[in-house]
Amino acid sequence: MNILVLGPQGSGKGTQAKKIKATYGVPHIATGDMLREMRELDTPLGRELKAVLDSGELVNDALMIDLIRDRLSRGDTLPGFVLDGFPRTMAQAEALDELLRELGRDLDVVFEFQVPDRQDLIARMLKRAAEEGRADDTPDAIRRRLEIYDRETAPLVEYYRTTRGNVVGIHADRSVEDVFHEIRQSLESVEARA
């Protein structure tokens, strides 16, 4: 099953993606995690990534598209995957479509993580920053990421609604277990249709 999770930072999509991985045995492809790993390298790319990640801006599309092309071409994704953090721009979404076409695959479901209350999101991100010691989660970077989400990424929900009609809204402002229950129910009906 090929799953995409879309939603602002702090909406809990990473946590749910990990649970999907544990339950369904598909790899969790989290571009933020991949970039944070690459940031630690003492190379020009590592240093460039550090600056971009700390500011809350987006990494350029070309690099992201290469990264995903590489990752989705690996055999472990054949039974499926849960894609988390990509695409974030329309150019990335179009590149993903092209890549999936080449690979003869498609997204079975797009989960849209909805958290109506912005303050709630900011509080969750600050809590995570403290718990996980994530240096890129400063209040300024958090604000900037939400702005970028609204401008660049939120329109992708409409894009998938129009091109695929497979968007499922998730009430993400509830407990981890309640949210996962909703996801499982939805995946069961996707499986039943397949």
Interface with ligand AMP by CB under 6 A: which range of 31-39, 108-116, 119-127, 185-193? Answer: 31-39
Q: Which is nearer to ligand AMP, 21 or 145 (CB)?
A: 145
Known catalytic membership, residue 39:
no
User: Cβ distance 2 to 162 under 8 Å?
Assistant: no
Q: Is 77 in the site for ligand AMP (CB under 6 A)?
A: no
Tokens, residue 27: 């790899």
Q: Which is nearer to ligand AMP, 52 or 190 (CB)?
A: 52
> Sign of torsion, CA 155 160 163 169?
negative
Collapsing DSSP states into helix, strand and coil, what is residue 137? coil
Phi, psi of 115 (to 5 degrees): -130, 100
Footprint on residues 87-146 left by ligand AMP (CB under 6 A): 88, 92, 145
Binding residue for ligand AMP, selected from 5, 7, 27, 86, defined by CB under 6 A = 86
Q: Which is nearer to ligand AMP, 26 or 31 (CB)?
A: 31
Q: Do the strands 28-30 and 2-6 form a parallel or antiparallel pair, or are they unpaired?
A: unpaired
Q: How far apart are CA 110 and CA 5, in angstroms?
A: 6
Binding site for ligand AMP (CB under 6 A): 9, 31-32, 35, 52-53, 56-59, 64, 85-86, 88, 92, 145
